[in-house]
Chain A
Amino acid sequence: GAVVSQHPSWVICKSGTSVKIECRSLDFQATTMFWYRQFPKQSLMLMATSNEGSKATYEQGVEKDKFLINHASLTLSTLTVTSAHPEDSSFYICSASDLLGAAFFGQGTRLTVV
């Protein structure tokens, strides 16, 4: 299957600072990537669809100014959590799909805001 790499795997930051998470498709080009948030023992909640060369599409209730998404190339999408607060602490995970529609996920980033 396709390989998606996400970095960093974990990060601890101070409240009020911003954190950037990278998602790379290593062996294929992804015009579309997805960003999810997952709380402990819960399902994946889609935050936004990242589109190469255009604006991301955010799901209802997700603040676009809070979660900045940039998809500048066919192999890289970034999610920046701006002015992070403790309630933003979560597991963030990206995915890209192959031509058959199967999703391949990055390793995830565990964000802790202190």
Chain B
Amino acid sequence: GQQVMQIPQYQHVQEGEDFTTYCNSSTTLSNIQWYKQRPGGHPVFLIQLVKSGEVKKQKRLTFQFGEAKKNSSLHITATQTTDVGTYFCAARGSNYKLTFGKGTLLTVNP
């Protein structure tokens, strides 16, 4: 099955600094999704990217899908304490089955 590698595993930033997490696959992905899981909570869908080179923005969050559709990134500009959580990328396969990356735990120092 498909695998997605996600780095870094942890990232600690000062409030106001930027943050980026990366997701890579050895195979071409039909799509990539991003989720956020707050400590003690459940994953919440953020976005889905399907087109080569696609870039989508949600306020301070920018999502990119690589030209070869093998990598993706999530960038947060000027982090806030509310951004704390684990960010997961996931590739959707057949029958809506998701393969998750290991996630990046973001902590923000106020």
Interface on A for B, CB 8 Å cutoff?
A: 1, 32, 34, 41-44, 46, 49, 93, 95, 97, 100-108
Contacts and interface: CB of A to CB of B under 8 A. Distances in A.
Nearest to A93: B42
B100 interface: yes
A104 B45 contact: yes
B85 interface: no
B45 A103 contact: yes
Interface residues of B, number: 22
A100 B48 contact: yes
B35 to A, nearest CB: 8
A38 B95 CA distance: 21
B88 A43 contact: yes
Interface string B83-109: 000001010100111111111010000
B31 A44 contact: no
Contacts of A106: 42
Contact of B33 (A32, A93, A102): A102
B100 A34 contact: no
21 contacts: A32-B95, A34-B96, A42-B103, A43-B88, A43-B100, A43-B101, A43-B102, A44-B88, A44-B100, A49-B97, A93-B43, A95-B43, A95-B98, A101-B48, A101-B92, A102-B45, A103-B33, A103-B96, A106-B42, A107-B42, A108-B41
